[in-house]
Structure 1
Amino acid sequence: MKRLSILFLLFCLVLNAQENKDLLEGHLGTLVIYDVNKNEYITINPERAALRFTPASTFKIPNSLIGLETGVIRDENFIINWDGIKRWNDDWNKDHTLSSAIKFSVVPYYQELARRVGRDRMQKYLNSLNYGNKVIGDNVDSFWLDNSLQISADEQVEFMKKFFEYKLPFSKRTIDIVKNIMSEEKYSKSVLKYKTGTGKKTTGEFIGWLVGYIRKENNVYLFAFNVDSETFDEVVKIRAELSRKILKQLKIIE
C-alpha cells in the first residue's frame, strides 16, 4: 500500500509538471515564482530555470542600486546627458534621469553609469551580491549585454527575494528608490512591478526576460520569466503576452 501511495504521488508530480510546462505553449522558456506566504516555489521547466543566460536589461536593477549606493547617482532625478550619438531607439537620444532611463531601458545611460562606478567597485558588488557567474569580462560598460555576465531564472528569483526583503548590501533608501522607479502594472487584485530584458544568446537566438514581484492582497510573489525566439521583435511580443497569460492562469495576476 505504501509503495502504491508513493507511485501515485510521483505520477501526480510528473503530471503536474507536464501541465505546468504546457503553459509555455511550446515555447522554450521558464517561469520561477516564489510565494512568500507559503514559502513555496512554482517552477515551470526546472531544467531551463537552472541555466544561465545574459541578464540583458534586467541588470538595470542591480546597476541602479550600485550607482545609488556608491554616490555615482544621487537620486532618481540624477541626469546623465546624451552623448550626441544617434542610436536605433529614439527614446535614447536625449538626456535622461535614472527614473526615465529605467523606464525606457536606456542602454547608454547605464553604460555611462557603469563606467563611472568602475571595474573594481562593480566587481566588488557582483561578488557581494553573488550575482550569477559574477563575470565582467573585457568591458565594464557592456558585460551584462555581451554574454560575459550570466544568471539563471532561479538565481534571479533569489536576488529579487533579497531585494524585496532589504537583505542586499544597500541602504533602505537606495532599495526604495529602485523599487519606486521599476515599471508598474495595476490589476483589480494585483500590482506587478518589473523590469524587462532582451538579449542575444551565444547560440544566436534572442532571449526575453521579465523579472520582478507581484503584490496580491496580503501576499507577495517574486518571479523570473525568460523565453527564446528567433528574432528581437518576436521575443519582445512573446515575453509580454505569454508571461502575463501564465501569471493570470495561475491566478497570481487578477
Structure 2
Amino acid sequence: MKYVLLFLFSGIFNLQAQSYLDYYFKSNNIDGAIVIYNQNKDEWLFNSELEPFSNTPAAAHFQLWQALVGLEEKVFKTEVNKKQLWDGVKRSFFDERRPEWNNDTNLVDALKNKNDWYFDLLKNKLSEKSYLENIKNASLFKEIKNNEFLYFWNYAGLTNPNTMILFLKDLYEGNLPFNKKHQQFILNQLFINENLAIHTAETSYLGQKIDWTIGIYLKQDKPVYFSMRTYRSLETEKLEDYEKRKNLIISQIFDVLNF
C-alpha cells in the first residue's frame, strides 16, 4: 500500500530518493531518515522510500494543532500573563520527571516545555462535539488506533512526515482552518533564529524510542520544509552527544544539497 501511495504522490510532486543521504546518519552512528520538501524546485527528497508515509505517533507535534484549536475556541490566550493554574500534581513523561511542568503555565511556555497537562485542559474545556471533531478526529492524524488513552497522540494517534511537512507549509502560508493571527503566533514560537524554525517530539512506539524533528529553513527564496526521525531500541542508551550529532546530520545534509 505504501508503494501505491508513493506512486500516486509522485504524480503530483517531483520525488527524488537520495539514498546517499544515509551516509550522514551512519557516519554519526544514528539510525534515522529524513524527508525534505524544497519549495524552490517543488521537489521532495528522502533517503528512504518508506519514510514519507510511515506512520508513528504524532507525540508533541500534535500540541501545535491543540494550541490552534485552543486559541480558536478561546481556551488558550496568547498573552504571556494569561496562565493556567497548575493543580499541584507532579507528572512525568514516559517515567521521566518533568519539573518544568510543575508551575502555572502560559501557552508560550507550554509549547516550549511540551507540557502535556496544559494541552489536556482541552478535554474538559471544549464541548464534546468540538473535542471529538477537532482533537480526537483531527485531520493531522492519518491513522487512529485507539483514542481512549489520556494522551493518545503519544501512543495511537499516528501521522507521517509527509503530513507534518504539509501542515508546516499550510501554517507558514496561513492556510490552515484557523484564524491567521493564531497561525502566525504559533509559527513565531517555532523560530530559533530568523532563518530556522524547529519543533521536536519524542515518543516510544513498537519497541523503539523515536525522536522526531520537523522544521522550516528560510535561506532561499522559498521555504525548505523538513522532517527527520531517528530510532533506537528501548534497551539502547541515548548517545551523550545525541543532540549535537542530530543537528550535525541536518547541517551536513543541507550543505550537500546546497540549501
User: Same-fold call, TM > 0.5?
Assistant: yes
Partner of 1:153: 161
Classify 1:74/1:120 alpha carbon distance in 2 versus 1 (closer, same or farther; 3 Å).
Answer: same
Matched, 1:193 2:223: no
Matched, 1:129 2:132: no
Matched, 1:230 2:233: yes
Q: Indicate the percent of aligned positions where both proteins have the same amino acid.
A: 21
Alpha-carbon distance between aligned partners in 2 of 1:236 and 1:176, rounded to the nearest angstrom: 35
Shift of residue 55, structure 1, vs aligned partner: 1.2
Shift of residue 112, structure 1, vs aligned partner: 1.8
Alpha-carbon distance between aligned partners in 2 of 1:136 and 1:68, rounded to the nearest angstrom: 26
Q: TM-score with structure 2 length normalisation?
A: 0.79
Alpha-carbon distance between aligned partners in 1 of 2:114 and 2:132, rounded to the nearest angstrom: 22
5 Å-filtered alignment, 1:53-132, equals 53-77=56-80, 78-87=82-91, 88-117=97-126, 119-125=128-134, 127=137, 129-132=139-142
Classify 1:235/1:69 alpha carbon distance in 2 versus 1 (closer, same or farther; 3 Å).
Answer: farther
Shift of residue 191, structure 1, vs aligned partner: 2.0
8 Å CA contact 2:77, 2:107 repeated in 1: no
Alpha-carbon distance between aligned partners in 2 of 1:117 and 1:101, rounded to the nearest angstrom: 18
Partner of 1:144: 153
Gaps of 5+ in 1: 1-15
Question: Which AA in structure 1 matches 2:197?
Answer: K
Alpha-carbon distance between aligned partners in 2 of 1:108 and 1:194, rounded to the nearest angstrom: 22
Classify 1:84/1:124 alpha carbon distance in 2 versus 1 (closer, same or farther; 3 Å).
Answer: same
Question: Which AA in structure 1 matches 2:19?
Answer: Q
Partner of 2:248: 245
Classify 1:45/1:118 alpha carbon distance in 2 versus 1 (closer, same or farther; 3 Å).
Answer: farther
8 Å CA contact 1:58, 1:196 repeated in 2: yes
8 Å CA contact 2:35, 2:51 repeated in 1: no
> Which one of the candidate residues 166, 175, 188 is aligned to 2:174?
166
Classify 1:118/1:75 alpha carbon distance in 2 versus 1 (closer, same or farther; 3 Å).
Answer: same
8 Å CA contact 1:61, 1:195 repeated in 2: no
Alpha-carbon distance between aligned partners in 1 of 2:24 and 2:211, rounded to the nearest angstrom: 17
Classify 1:180/1:110 alpha carbon distance in 2 versus 1 (closer, same or farther; 3 Å).
Answer: same
Partner of 2:13: none
Partner of 1:21: 22
Per-residue deviation, residues 85-138 of structure 1 (Å, max 9, x unmatched): 123111111111000111111121112234423553233235563532256611
Q: TM-score with structure 1 length normalisation?
A: 0.80
Classify 1:241/1:67 alpha carbon distance in 2 versus 1 (closer, same or farther; 3 Å).
Answer: same
Over the aligned positions, Cα root-mean-square deviation in angstroms equals 2.7
Classify 1:69/1:200 alpha carbon distance in 2 versus 1 (closer, same or farther; 3 Å).
Answer: same
Alpha-carbon distance between aligned partners in 1 of 2:180 and 2:90, rounded to the nearest angstrom: 36
Question: Which AA in structure 2 matches 1:52?
Answer: N
Alpha-carbon distance between aligned partners in 2 of 1:151 and 1:174, rounded to the nearest angstrom: 23
8 Å CA contact 1:30, 1:48 repeated in 2: yes
Shift of residue 70, structure 1, vs aligned partner: 1.3
Question: Which AA in structure 2 matches 1:185?
Answer: I
8 Å CA contact 2:101, 2:113 repeated in 1: yes
> Which one of the candidate residues 26, 30, 35 is aligned to 2:33?
30
